[in-house]
Chains A and B, each alone.
Chain A
């Protein structure tokens, strides 16, 4: 029961934290001036009417030819109330204003349509990265202080330190351009599960998973070496278990205790992806959308995606904390 209470408490704290951040964000965004841009071909009045319909602005004033020239802002708190009401009643997160592709369309639909590439690339990266990372870590720990360990450890340090920008560029140049193993850009279209699409996603996936391979290898090696030197391993050997049996049944399971939560959180973080990788490999994912919304100052997109990224970050953190309690019997969360 204390466990349930603890989880509930953490979830509530998370929601409060999230709410505070988002309200701050909303107020700061709404304090900015509303600028409707676009060339002569764009009917600006349409946007103003749309904004008025959402009560972002009020008291429109027109010039002689019926164009909007001035308006008043609605009080921010009233806007916040309406914004929340629309979200919870209609699932309406607002409309795109500046990004030409999504102008005057619901931001939620745009967001959902951008999700699959991001999620797929991250899923591929996790599916490739986690087993290889764990495997390398286990190998390095078992062969500690041999050349295998040295090679793996050096590679891990290099991969962890060198920023992803650099090795993404290297992958782009060597694999995609020099050896032409993969296309330079991701395929267009929405046929995300086809073979050619998979192939064109590979460079980005590789760039993403190199970092996580290094991270898991280092983590696993550290944990496993610590467990391997503990006394219960000696006991297990004296009981008559072979080295393999002792390693698999006692050492591995125990070393997984701190590693497993981070794997779990990785599968939450799958949603968010990496802005740099998406930018570099021109992946039409959520990250690119976020960058566009920042560069074009599209407020509704920015609010939705900021909330999304913030929530993913908070949830990943909480899952790590809570799963410790479930996985490791030695930890009793919230017990006094």
Chain B
């Protein structure tokens, strides 16, 4: 303290050199609102998983319709109720398109005989056995246990084709060495009952036992074929293609005999016995050339033989597009309505509120029914679109209105008005962006409820969306419910899809709501 008077000059330095400025640049990165929200969202593990599932489901809906060989309108009754089958599990007893059956010998031999006819033919190589691999086990009480392949239960059918198709079929057989045509039977050799006389799977001798058609068995328990045989030179069928094993003009009593493959009917047409599975491949790849190579239904087929995978994906895609477009339109209407009501307040607000009160009290069912009655000629999609818009915007409007009440008297808004901004500018440039966060969240929450309402309405049959290449998840569930006990796979896949979708959308929506709520910042510790 004593030598304060004579401090050496060199001890003095300029303040400016020491960099005493207090405006230190922040070291940390600024956190924007969105980034903050995203961080909070990621902390919620359930929501992240849900978001991933939603992305997968959306991708499924977008991509699958292009990948499958079928379209929604493709149907084939002969493949109705086909069980789900994946090539991946073909050699296991799971997801292989088969049903486990335990039945008496009489029922077993019907299916066994269908497969037995193929043994030794060109089709055997691709394993067209109705009973998987022709394998069975006999249970204690003398029942036969086997796996029934739903792709081949149709077996063979009688079909009338014109002579041109007949030749084309033979040409196809010669080219690909796949047998489609099988020896046919005389009319008198077919089963006598009405329901069985057209069943081409009875290619063997049958008899009637208490009103049912049962096969005549030889001493080994095998069926005895009853094909139409003619002496060489008397063939009526003009057939010149591959024949079944052991029948290449066989000798008997000094004559050469042939099986007949096509029964001529009036008009130069032929009635032939075809293996339907092979015919399907022929018809789609050789005649229609529509990209369908072989019957393959990963999720099974409906009662009318539509591919469930294709229908489900197309239905889901439709539902997504539909829900999102409705949410956007509702957001647009709700934003304008809520903005006007919230900004002007007073009598205008009161009037508009009463109108929304009444509108929101109208049950959805009444709206959609009245629209349906009055717009009979319009498409069902349009009706549903209008019905969802008619009352759907009210929630959005009240969200926006609330935000407008909060922000319309803030200083920056007053400043903007003082500077002469028009109402419109104040409303949509200054106040509206504040309500965007909550609006987007409620939009995300509205999408699953939209999908749910759409599903229930089509389930109840009030709206029938199925037309052309459009279907919906609800339509699928409704169509499959009558067969719930016998063919549960028809409803199972759409139901699982719907359940997964709703569950993940709910979790995702909850996460999003928490993420956009800044008051929760740091709350989770």
Contact = CB atoms under 8 A, between A and B. Distances in A.
Interface of A: 13, 17-18, 20-21, 25, 28-29, 31-32, 157-158, 160-163, 165-166, 169-170, 172-173, 177, 184, 275-276, 279-280, 290-291, 294-295, 297, 302, 306, 309-310, 313-314
30 contacts: A21-B358, A31-B374, A157-B503, A157-B507, A161-B503, A162-B502, A162-B503, A163-B452, A163-B456, A163-B502, A165-B455, A165-B459, A165-B498, A166-B496, A169-B477, A169-B491, A177-B484, A275-B365, A276-B459, A276-B460, A280-B481, A291-B462, A294-B369, A294-B462, A306-B369, A309-B363, A310-B361, A313-B361, A313-B363, A314-B361
Given A25-B370, A28-B374, A169-B477, A17 B485 contact: no
A17 B505 CA distance: 34
A162 B461 contact: no
A31 B375 CA distance: 12
Given A163-B452, A163-B455, A310 B362 contact: yes
Nearest to B462: A294
Give the 10 A-B residue pairs with the shortest CB-CB distance, closest first. Answer: A161-B506, A161-B503, A162-B499, A166-B495, A166-B499, A177-B485, A161-B502, A306-B366, A294-B369, A28-B370
Contact of A302 (B369, B474, B481): B369
A162 to B, nearest CB: 4
Query: Counting chain B CB atoms within 10 Å of each CB, which of A157, A162, A184 scores highest?
Result: A162
Contacts of A21: 358, 361-362, 366
A231 to B, nearest CB: 19
* Interface of chain B, main secondary structure: helix
A294 B383 CA distance: 15
A162 B451 CA distance: 12
Given A28-B374, A163-B498, 15 more contacts: A17-B357, A21-B358, A21-B361, A29-B370, A157-B506, A161-B502, A161-B503, A172-B484, A173-B484, A177-B485, A279-B459, A291-B462, A294-B369, A294-B372, A306-B369
B373 A279 contact: no
B503 A309 contact: no
Contacts of A177: 484-485
Interface in B354-381: 357-358, 361-363, 365-366, 369-370, 372-374
Interface of B: 357-358, 361-363, 365-366, 369-370, 372-374, 452, 455-456, 459-462, 474, 477, 481, 484-485, 488, 491, 495-496, 498-499, 502-503, 505-507
Contacts of A173: 484-485, 488
Contact of A310 (B366, B452, B503): B366
A291 B369 CA distance: 10
B363 A165 contact: no
Contacts of B507: 157, 161
Contacts of A32: 373-374
Contacts of A276: 456, 459-460
Interface centre among B366, B498, B503 (most CB of A within 10 A): B366
A21 B363 CA distance: 10
B503 A17 contact: no
Contacts of A165: 455-456, 459, 474, 477, 495, 498
Contacts of A297: 373
Contacts of A25: 366, 370
Contacts of B503: 157-158, 161-162
Contacts of B485: 173, 177, 184
B186 to A, nearest CB: 44
B308 to A, nearest CB: 15
A302 B365 CA distance: 10
Contacts of B460: 275-276, 279, 291
A20 B362 CA distance: 10
A305 B221 CA distance: 65
Contacts of A309: 363, 365-366
A29 B358 CA distance: 18
B199 to A, nearest CB: 29
Nearest to B488: A173
A20 B360 CA distance: 12
A275 B373 CA distance: 20
A190 B499 CA distance: 35
Nearest to B451: A163
A36 B358 CA distance: 33
B359 to A, nearest CB: 9
B517 to A, nearest CB: 16
A279 B456 CA distance: 11
Contacts of B366: 21, 25, 306, 309-310
A161 to B, nearest CB: 4
Contact of A163 (B357, B369, B373, B499): B499
A169 B484 contact: yes
B6 to A, nearest CB: 67
Contacts of B363: 306, 309-310, 313
A17 B361 contact: yes
Nearest to B506: A161
A295 B474 CA distance: 17
A304 B288 CA distance: 54
Nearest to B370: A28
- Tell which of B357, B460, B461, B474 has the most Cβ of chain A within 10 Å: B460
Contacts of A31: 374
Contact of A20 (B358, B369, B502): B358
A24 B222 CA distance: 74
B313 to A, nearest CB: 18
Contacts of B462: 291, 294-295
Contacts of A290: 365
A290 B362 CA distance: 15
A149 to B, nearest CB: 15
Contacts of B498: 163, 165-166
Which has the most chain B C-beta neighbours within 10 Å: A166, A291, A294? A166
B171 to A, nearest CB: 48
Contacts of A158: 503
Contacts of A184: 485
Contact of B365 (A166, A170, A294): A294
B316 to A, nearest CB: 14
B106 to A, nearest CB: 26
Contacts of A166: 495-496, 498-499
Contacts of A170: 495
A166 B474 CA distance: 11
A165 B503 CA distance: 14
A198 to B, nearest CB: 23
